[in-house]
Chains A and B, each alone.
Chain A
Amino acid sequence: MKGFKTKSARIALCAIALIVGATAAFGATAQKILYLPADAEFDNLDPRVLTSTIQALVQFGIFEPLVRTHDGQLLPGMAKTWEQSKDGMTYTFHLRDAKWSDGKAVTGGDFVHAFVRMFQICPASPIYDDIKNGAELRAGKVQPADLGVKAPDAKTVVITLKNPVPYFMGLIASSFGAPGREDLVAKYGDGYGASAESLASNGPFILKEWKKNDKVVLVKNPDYWNASAIKLDQVVVYVLPTPQTQRNLFDSGQLDMYLPRSESEAKDFQAKSLLHLYVRGGIRDLQINRHGQNDPVKAKILSNVNFMKAISYAIDRQGYIDNVLQGAGYPATVQTPPGTGVYPGKTWGQVSTNMGKYHPATADLAKSKAYMDLVLKDNGFTSVAQLPTFDFLTSIGPDDPKDVTGYILGVFQQMGLKINVKLATGQQFYNNLYKPALAWDICRAGWGPDFDDPATYMGYWTTASTDMGVTYENAQFDALLAKGNMETDLVKRAAILNQAEALFADNAPCIPLIWYKGEIALSARVKGFTTAITGLTTDYIYADLTK
């Protein structure tokens, strides 16, 4: 009896040991790995070379700017603390002790180098023209030492602005504002940023493996200043060019995130409680080329503000969203989406007085016809049929059910306009859109915000802007925006921007169409995944996995 007891006790002990051992081993190997999709290869991850949403997904993981935004909050980054001068023009950042993944210390000089290099080679540098001497450095008029970004010592960065813009902290929280390594740029030359070994990381994750056109593997950075708050051990980003493949991988549990491409897809995920809605930035619009491709007859019609209004009033934004997009959007009646921040506690939707005033949410065909009659009269025509054929430039074909192109072509047809569709994809779209080609009369375009402020939706229309093929070319509008940039009282500034928006909505060569709803499907095991209007729109940095 005693022996049996001992024996069973031994067996029980062994079993417990086995279970404990197995759990320990399992615990040690069960890494938290998040799997994300990317639509295309990253090509280059240097924040000064390429930065779109595709690159940003990795760049925000491996680089840490001076500050970071997360879930609508401004968090410290490489800067532990900072202060702003009274006039709002000078920011002083005090850096924390931090290391690059190759062991070197992160210094103020790394930031100076990054900003100088940005103005010298980065296509997107005009976003940062609020920094003193930025535009001048890009044009080669001043030396790098004259730029308003300086490092008085290894632990301090001082940034001087031209305008006391309130959105500045949001700007430097972008991946463009990540520090860079002059020594690595010199070592790798043209190949810098195109391979894992050429990039050192200072962010929450380290770029461990980069297999071109296949995957990127990020591992947790143990030296990151906030490493204890980072829950994921690894983030694997697969390059998956076809949405259907992403969907199939998501459905079979091999991906943790999927962006639904249609409303019926979104409904599927909603039924499974995997769908998350979020506030998304950006506007889809139509733009009108007042130069009419150097055809004086077309130019006269296209520069007639009533022509713009005739089209705008013929568009049933609400009907299109309800019936075609199945509710996946909001009718845009001005450029800036209502969810855009303008000053603490207020969004643009609560401040703007222009929504629904200059462009309608539902079509008003009688008004459209009245405007068109004015156009005809001004140009000596008696019927719409006499108008010339207009070139409509689009990067998406009318056969795509998720895009507005097909609907807009229907509107043109209903109005009796003769339209020649110019479909151009990839680089060819931009080649047609911009000067010198400007090979279009009406164009399906849009804008994604560079920072969370109405100024990003207006700034690209100023006369000096080269962001689009055409600009507004309205001196009063330019003056209002310049005044807004200098105004430090945020309530007064909002009033100025509201005035600029009213002017723009009334007679700019631009017709707002749709603000999209943000929809994202996440696997059930993902927790703490957030979204943002700009920058890292799908923020996995502080996410966690259950199970």
Chain B
Amino acid sequence: MARYILNRVLVAILTMFVLATTTFFLLRLVPGDPMAGPKVTPEVKAILRKHYGLDKPLMEQYVVYMGNLLRGDFGWSMAARGNKVNNIIRDAFPASLDLGVRSMIVAIIMGLFFGIVSALHRGKPMDYLTVILVLVGISVPSFVVAGLLQFFFGVYLHILPVARYDNWKSTLMPTFALSLGTMATLARYMRASMLEIVNADYIKTAKAKGLSRLQIVMRHQVRNALFPILTILGPAIAMVLTGSFIIETVFAIPGLGRHYVTAMQNLDYTLVLGLTLFFGFFLIAMNLLVDFAYGLIDPRVRHTRG
């Protein structure tokens, strides 16, 4: 197990290195200059390029960047002048994390609940209701959900704050809007996964042993159905925790989400790199955790890999 963990961690570090290198060079292939803008004279542009080290040979820039990266320094943002990329992430991440954790809790609880309920009532009205809910959750884009919620509860009914993120009441709508997609996906997988094992041998054995229905469902069916869920949970958590562009802009939440879009529009090399690596780190870490969790939950994984 220790060797397995070490192996996975080394691969993760290598992945981060490859991610940093390819993003660094790919960004430079994008045509344009981050210092361009209205009224920027060639002289001023030259001064700015020199200030940000963009006048040096590309390989030298790469070495400097990777050196700084080892010390955990993402450098200065090129568009948000005077702001360090580390500070931008530090300022914006807490709001995204807070919203992400809330949404993930709602998504997991509700998603699994709907999945289990619909699997147990397969072919009955409860099942169809869930399937419809799931379909709506997956196919309606979040900006529609967010906009409708905002109008209905905020402007029309006046029972929730329209936007901004400053008390628990203002977290309700964004949490629900952000969790909807993940909730629907989880419910769908959970339902399929539950139905797949409903005729498995060990369920029949449990029934033959005379266990109650609740015991069979909770101890055997749900536990075994959770494995495929774990696989999709890793990336889903990484996605939700690192911010959503749409939810954050609609509800004016000062999170990371909007930076992903604006940084690329502004060709902000350092900010794009910093965000990519930050998100990449999260994704890889979550996948690692899921792998370890497999080992913990599933005895078969533990034994074959041990």
* Chain A positions near chain B (C-beta within 8 angstroms): 40-41, 43-44, 46, 49-50, 120-127, 138-140, 190-194, 211-214, 238-242, 244-245, 248-249, 251-252, 254, 425-428, 430-432, 434, 437, 466-467
Majority secondary structure of chain A interface residues (helix, strand, loop or mixed): loop
Q: Are the C-beta atoms of B249 and A427 separated by less than 8 Å?
A: no
Q: Are the C-beta atoms of A427 and B37 separated by less than 8 Å?
A: yes
A121, A244, A249, A251: the one contacting B47 at CB < 8 Å is: A121
Taking the closest CB of chain B, its distance from the CB of A229, in whole angstroms, is 31
Q: Lowest 4 A-B CB distances belong to which pairs?
A: A426-B265, A431-B32, A194-B82, A213-B254
Question: Roughly how many angstroms separate A46 CA and B82 CA in the complex, as a whole number?
Answer: 9
Question: Roughly how many angstroms separate A50 CA and B77 CA in the complex, as a whole number?
Answer: 14
Q: Are the C-beta atoms of B267 and A239 separated by less than 8 Å?
A: no
Taking the closest CB of chain A, its distance from the CB of B227, in whole angstroms, is 39
Q: Are the C-beta atoms of B80 and A49 separated by less than 8 Å?
A: no
Q: Are the C-beta atoms of B266 and A426 separated by less than 8 Å?
A: yes
Any A CB within 8 A of the CB of B121: no
Instruction: Pick 14 A–B contacts, CB within 8 A, sort by A.
Output: A49-B81, A123-B38, A123-B44, A126-B41, A127-B39, A190-B82, A245-B250, A248-B155, A249-B162, A427-B32, A427-B266, A430-B40, A466-B39, A467-B39
Question: Roughly how many angstroms separate A121 CA and B265 CA in the complex, as a whole number?
Answer: 23
Across the two chains, which residue of chain B brings its CB closest to A139? B43
- Given that A194-B83, A213-B258, A242-B250 are contacting pairs, would A122 and B44 also be in contact in the complex, using a CB cutoff of 8 Å? yes
The residues of A that contact B83 with a CB separation of less than 8 Å are 43-44, 191, 194, 212
B40, B80, B249: the one contacting A44 at CB < 8 Å is: B80
Question: Roughly how many angstroms separate A466 CA and B37 CA in the complex, as a whole number?
Answer: 11
The residues of A that contact B88 with a CB separation of less than 8 Å are 212
Q: Are the C-beta atoms of A245 and B265 separated by less than 8 Å?
A: no
The residues of B that contact A194 with a CB separation of less than 8 Å are 80-83
Question: Roughly how many angstroms separate A245 CA and B84 CA in the complex, as a whole number?
Answer: 29
The residues of B that contact A254 with a CB separation of less than 8 Å are 162
The residues of A that contact B235 with a CB separation of less than 8 Å are none
Any A CB within 8 A of the CB of B151: yes
Given A126-B39, A427-B34, 18 other A-B residues pairs in contact with their CB atoms under 8 A: A123-B44, A212-B83, A212-B91, A213-B258, A214-B165, A241-B249, A242-B249, A245-B163, A245-B249, A245-B251, A248-B150, A248-B163, A252-B155, A425-B265, A427-B36, A430-B38, A432-B32, A434-B36
Any A CB within 8 A of the CB of B8: no
Any A CB within 8 A of the CB of B42: yes
Question: Roughly how many angstroms separate A38 CA and B31 CA in the complex, as a whole number?
Answer: 30
Q: Are the C-beta atoms of B266 and A214 separated by less than 8 Å?
A: no
The residues of A that contact B162 with a CB separation of less than 8 Å are 245, 248-249, 252, 254
The residues of B that contact A139 with a CB separation of less than 8 Å are 43
Q: Are the C-beta atoms of B43 and A138 separated by less than 8 Å?
A: yes
Question: Roughly how many angstroms separate A214 CA and B95 CA in the complex, as a whole number?
Answer: 11
Question: Roughly how many angstroms separate A242 CA and B39 CA in the complex, as a whole number?
Answer: 27
Question: Roughly how many angstroms separate A122 CA and B41 CA in the complex, as a whole number?
Answer: 10
Q: Are the C-beta atoms of A240 and B252 separated by less than 8 Å?
A: yes
The residues of B that contact A241 with a CB separation of less than 8 Å are 249, 252, 258
Any A CB within 8 A of the CB of B158: yes
The number of residue pairs between A and B whose CB atoms lie closer than 8 Å in the complex comes to: 135
Number of B residues near A (Cβ < 8 Å) is 46
Q: Are the C-beta atoms of B81 and A44 separated by less than 8 Å?
A: yes
The residues of A that contact B164 with a CB separation of less than 8 Å are 214, 238
Any A CB within 8 A of the CB of B147: yes
Q: Are the C-beta atoms of B41 and A138 separated by less than 8 Å?
A: yes
Question: Roughly how many angstroms separate A431 CA and B33 CA in the complex, as a whole number?
Answer: 6
Question: Roughly how many angstroms separate A138 CA and B43 CA in the complex, as a whole number?
Answer: 7
The residues of B that contact A123 with a CB separation of less than 8 Å are 37-41, 44
Question: Roughly how many angstroms separate A125 CA and B39 CA in the complex, as a whole number?
Answer: 8
Taking the closest CB of chain A, its distance from the CB of B50, in whole angstroms, is 12
Question: Roughly how many angstroms separate A249 CA and B262 CA in the complex, as a whole number?
Answer: 23
The residues of B that contact A428 with a CB separation of less than 8 Å are 32, 265, 267
Q: Are the C-beta atoms of B80 and A43 separated by less than 8 Å?
A: yes
The residues of B that contact A140 with a CB separation of less than 8 Å are 43
Across the two chains, which residue of chain A brings its CB closest to B52? A190
Question: Roughly how many angstroms separate A485 CA and B91 CA in the complex, as a whole number?
Answer: 48
Any A CB within 8 A of the CB of B76: yes
Across the two chains, which residue of chain A brings its CB closest to B251? A245
Across the two chains, which residue of chain B brings its CB closest to A52? B38
Across the two chains, which residue of chain A brings its CB closest to B261? A426
Binary CB contact string for chain B from 35 to 61 against chain A (1 if under 8 A, 0 otherwise): 011111111100110000000000000
Taking the closest CB of chain B, its distance from the CB of A198, in whole angstroms, is 8
The residues of B that contact A434 with a CB separation of less than 8 Å are 36
Q: Are the C-beta atoms of A191 and B252 separated by less than 8 Å?
A: no
Across the two chains, which residue of chain B brings its CB closest to A126? B41
Q: Are the C-beta atoms of A212 and B81 separated by less than 8 Å?
A: no
Any A CB within 8 A of the CB of B16: no
Question: Roughly how many angstroms separate A244 CA and B150 CA in the complex, as a whole number?
Answer: 10
Question: Roughly how many angstroms separate A123 CA and B38 CA in the complex, as a whole number?
Answer: 8
Taking the closest CB of chain A, its distance from the CB of B47, in whole angstroms, is 7
Across the two chains, which residue of chain A brings its CB closest to B45? A123
Question: Roughly how many angstroms separate A43 CA and B36 CA in the complex, as a whole number?
Answer: 17
B42, B79, B147, B255: the one contacting A427 at CB < 8 Å is: B79
Any A CB within 8 A of the CB of B226: no
Q: Are the C-beta atoms of A245 and B150 separated by less than 8 Å?
A: yes
Across the two chains, which residue of chain B brings its CB closest to A447? B38
Any A CB within 8 A of the CB of B295: no
Any A CB within 8 A of the CB of B154: yes
Taking the closest CB of chain A, its distance from the CB of B96, in whole angstroms, is 11
Taking the closest CB of chain B, its distance from the CB of A133, in whole angstroms, is 14
Taking the closest CB of chain B, its distance from the CB of A481, in whole angstroms, is 18
The residues of A that contact B255 with a CB separation of less than 8 Å are 213
Question: Roughly how many angstroms separate A41 CA and B53 CA in the complex, as a whole number?
Answer: 25
Question: Roughly how many angstroms separate A425 CA and B48 CA in the complex, as a whole number?
Answer: 22
Interface residues of B in 152-185 (CB under 8 A from A): 154-155, 158, 162-165
Binary CB contact string for chain B from 209 to 246 against chain A (1 if under 8 A, 0 otherwise): 00000000000000000000000000000000000000
B39, B150, B249, B267: the one contacting A431 at CB < 8 Å is: B267
Across the two chains, which residue of chain A brings its CB closest to B267? A427
Q: Are the C-beta atoms of B82 and A192 separated by less than 8 Å?
A: yes
Any A CB within 8 A of the CB of B92: yes
Taking the closest CB of chain A, its distance from the CB of B272, in whole angstroms, is 12
The residues of B that contact A467 with a CB separation of less than 8 Å are 38-39
Question: Roughly how many angstroms separate A385 CA and B136 CA in the complex, as a whole number?
Answer: 48
Question: Roughly how many angstroms separate A245 CA and B251 CA in the complex, as a whole number?
Answer: 7
Residue among B39, B79, B250, B265 with the highest chain A CB neighbour number at 10 A: B39
Q: Are the C-beta atoms of B163 and A193 separated by less than 8 Å?
A: no
The residues of A that contact B32 with a CB separation of less than 8 Å are 427-428, 431-432, 437
Q: Are the C-beta atoms of B82 and A44 separated by less than 8 Å?
A: yes
Question: Roughly how many angstroms separate A475 CA and B162 CA in the complex, as a whole number?
Answer: 57
Question: Roughly how many angstroms separate A139 CA and B45 CA in the complex, as a whole number?
Answer: 11
The residues of B that contact A245 with a CB separation of less than 8 Å are 150, 162-163, 249-252
Q: Are the C-beta atoms of A193 and B82 separated by less than 8 Å?
A: yes
The residues of A that contact B92 with a CB separation of less than 8 Å are 212-213
The residues of B that contact A431 with a CB separation of less than 8 Å are 31-33, 36, 267
Across the two chains, which residue of chain A brings its CB closest to B245? A241
Binary CB contact string for chain B from 187 to 227 against chain A (1 if under 8 A, 0 otherwise): 00000000000000000000000000000000000000000
Q: Are the C-beta atoms of B155 and A251 separated by less than 8 Å?
A: yes
Question: Roughly how many angstroms separate A226 CA and B161 CA in the complex, as a whole number?
Answer: 37
The residues of B that contact A193 with a CB separation of less than 8 Å are 81-82
Across the two chains, which residue of chain A brings its CB closest to B76? A190
The residues of A that contact B82 with a CB separation of less than 8 Å are 43-44, 46, 49, 190-194
The residues of B that contact A211 with a CB separation of less than 8 Å are 254
Across the two chains, which residue of chain B brings its CB closest to A120? B47
